Amino acid sequence: MSNLKLSLAMGNYDRTRAIVDGRVQIDGVDPVPMLMSPEEMFFRAFRHEAFDISEISLSSYSISVARGNPHYVAIPVFLSRAFRHTSVYIRTDKGIETPQDLKGKRIGIAEYQLSANVWVRGILEEEYGVKPSDIIWVRGGMDTPGRPEKIKVQLPDNIRMEEAPVGSTLNGMLEAGEIDGFVGPRWPRCFAERHPHVGRLFADSIATAEAYFEKTRIFPIMHVLGVRRSLAEEYPFLPAALLKAFTQSKLLAEEALSDTSATKVTMPFVEDNLNRVHALMGDDPWSYGVGGNAHVLNKFLDYHASQGLSPRRVEIEELFHPSTLEAYSL
């Protein structure tokens, strides 16, 4: 039997590069890699089922599972993870000094359902007592006016949502002081350009995230790998083959980072930061598989349901293909 020729959409990461350049082979598959931004990839995957295999939003996927119409089935390959304490931006001239000061403020978001935003809302409520209903949310495009939710969502009645004015962008509104802050995985352009009145809610976001991890042992998951459900049914070897290959690719990336003979990425102090991460999070901080990540996934699914994005609380076993829930050993 010849290998399957399958489209593969994902971000351009060190942890997937060995699959793109062929150093790691997916058993039985000749992939056609396409490297894309999350915005394009997720829109095409969830609106048009455009790819055979795709990196997908954990939040949008959980919505589709809860509704009973998922076109993909997930593999516990967590291509994007991030501590989202870095993702809350504020106008520093609006009297916002603590998370509690966000109550009653108008905060911009690109999409309510973004995985990053689920985590931020959950952390604000659980750690700081700020409920999603305490904030006025303003939805719009960051740099281009207008942005639809990739999957239509029905929000709880107590959520106050406004659309950004026609022709306005969230970056422009934040820059002009027309909104009080912004939450999202991408930093707003005016923050990157060092606007004098735009900063982060958590001034030392790294220290805040480290304290959060020490307390919860949670490294938030944003994206998973999805394979077209019909393909997984027709070729039952495929999900486990993907988990195996992506795990091998990540190991190669981690080995390269640990090689201190010459810095592998264009960033000073990488090796020192790697040692700091290992001291805090152990030898496998970016782990794949369900076993070591069940507490992270359960927390996300709790947040997702409590925020009204899922019409019911989804269970971990519903997300992932059965063949990827356990692995063989020698």
Q: Does 133 share its domain with 207?
A: yes
For 102-124, b where at least 16 C-beta lie within 10 A, e where not — what string? beebbbbbbbbbbbbbbbbbbbb
pLDDT of 233 above 80: yes
In this structure, the answer to whether residues 210 and 94 fall within a common structural domain is yes
Sheet order of strands, 29-35 included: 29-35, 4-10, 53-57, 221-228, 72-81
Higher pLDDT pick, 326 / 64 = 64
- 288 shares a domain with 228: yes
The pLDDT > 70 percentage for the chain reads 99
Q: In the chain, what percentage of residues exceed pLDDT 90?
A: 90
Q: Is residue 329 part of a domain?
A: no
Model pLDDT, residue 314: 98
In the chain, how many domains are there? 2
Do 241 and 262 have their domain in common? yes
CB 57 within 8 A of CB 160: no
Pairing of strands 181-183, 88-91: antiparallel
Comparing CA positions, the residue from 150, 124, 149 lying closest to residue 139 is: 149
| One domain, residues 25 and 67 | yes
- Asked if residue 297 belongs to a domain, the reply is yes
| Segment 151-204, tens digit of pLDDT | 888 899 999 999 999 999 999 999 999 999 999 999 999 999 999 999 999 999
17 and 67 together in one domain: yes
Based on DSSP, count helices (H) and strands (E) in the chain, helices before strands: 12, 11
pLDDT at site 67: 96
Q: Among 216, 235, 270, where does a domain finish?
A: 216
CATH assignment at residue 319: 3.40.190.10
Q: What are the tens digits of pLDDT across the range 277-309? A: 999 999 999 999 999 999 999 999 999 999 999
Q: Is the pLDDT of residue 325 over 80?
A: yes
Give the predicted TM-score (pTM) of the model: 0.95
Do 142 and 195 sit in the same domain of this protein?
A: yes
Q: Do both 212 and 123 map to the same domain? A: yes
Q: Is the pLDDT of residue 96 over 70?
A: yes
Distance CA 246, CA 83 (A): 22
pLDDT of residue 315: 98
Which of 191, 216, 241 is the last residue in one of the domains? 216
CA distance 260 to 257: 7
- Domain of 266? 4-82+220-324
Domain limit, last residue, from 216, 233, 267:
216
Q: Are 65 and 72 in contact (CB under 8 A)?
A: no
Q: Does the residue 269 lie in any domain?
A: yes
Q: Are residues 212 and 139 in the same domain?
A: yes
Shared domain check, 225 and 209: no
224 has a pLDDT exceeding 70? yes
Pair 172, 192 in one domain: yes
Identify the pLDDT of residue 328: 65
Q: How confident is the model at residue 146 (pLDDT cuts 50, 70, 90)?
A: confident
- Four-point Cα dihedral 120, 126, 130, 132, nearest 10: 60
330 belongs to a structural domain: no
pLDDT of residue 264: 82
Residues 170 and 230 in one domain: no
d(CA 267, CA 269): 7
pLDDT of the residue at 330: 54
